[in-house]
Amino acid sequence: MGRVDVYTATGAIEALTVAELLREAGLDATVREMGIYGYPMSIGPLGEKRISVPREEAEEAREILLRAAEDGVIDHGPELTSD
């Protein structure tokens, strides 16, 4: 059980695009803010957001994200973290 990060975005629009792509496929995607609060930065490392899914959906999410990256829908493929 638990959640696994499958994508790291460097801005809100990218994060929402990826999360919505996964949700449209029926996956339970969530976005976590990783930046430092209190700073007016929302891009680059200070705007980092991680998209996660339940562990049992991680493989399917990575396949969807890989195809989306190959098709140019998103900037890069999924995170290659191990479960």
- Name the residue ranges covered by the structural domains of the chain: 3-70
Collect all residues with Cβ–Cβ distance below 8 Å to 43 and sequence separation of at least 6.
10, 11
pLDDT > 70? residue 25: yes
Rounded CA separation 69/9 (Å):
13
Q: What is the arithmetic mean of pLDDT over 28-54? A: 76
This model's pTM is above 0.75? yes
pLDDT > 80? residue 76: no
For 3-70, CATH gives 3.30.70
Q: Is residue 28 very low, low, confident or very high in pLDDT (cuts 50, 70, 90)?
A: very high
